[in-house]
Amino acid sequence: VFAEYMVKAKKGNIVNISSASALRPLTRVAGYGAAKAAVTNFTKYMAGELATKFGESFRVNALC
């Protein structure tokens, strides 16, 4: 949704919230680790996708 406005502005940043559990899951909370791993993976995908399609004025990062 936000990328639409970023493309019109020709620049922008997206910051997602992830967790250290995305890289090394905690015990007994597999769902949480899997969800945060998905956020981290999606962040990496979107960073490459926006840069490839629209240029280097777009950033997508995750806080961990």
Q: Which residues are catalytic?
A: 32
Contacts 24+ apart (CB under 8 A), 28-33: none
Task: Centre a 10 Å sphere on the Cβ of residue 45 and count the other Cβ atoms it contains.
Answer: 11
